[in-house]
Amino acid sequence: MEEWSFGKKNPIDPKNGDVDAETTLAYNFIQLGSPEKEEEVPAEEVVHCKINTKRSIKRGLTDFYGGTLATLEVAERLRRAVAEGAVEQASISEIIKMTGYSRAQATAFTSAITDRQVEDPVSGAIINTKRSRPATRRVIPDGYDYVEPPGAGNVEPHLAALQACLRAACVRWNAPEFLGSADASNNALASAETSATHFVVTVERARQRTNQRFMRPA
CA angle 86, 92, 98 (to 5 degrees): 140
Return the pLDDT at 77: 92
Return the pLDDT at 188: 64
Residues in Cβ contact with 36 at an 8 Å cutoff, skipping those fewer than 6 apart:
none
Question: What residue type is assigned to position 148 of the chain?
Answer: E
Return the pLDDT at 192: 62
Residue 62: half-sphere exposure toward Cβ, Cα within 13 Å: 7
Q: Measured between alpha carbons, how far is 24 from 9 in angstroms, rounded to an integer?
A: 6
Residues in Cβ contact with 64 at an 8 Å cutoff, skipping those fewer than 6 apart:
72, 172
Whole-structure pTM value: 0.52
Ranges under pLDDT 70 in the chain: 152, 184-196, 213, 216-218
> Which phi and psi angles does 96 have, rounded to 5°?
-105, 120
Return the pLDDT at 195: 59
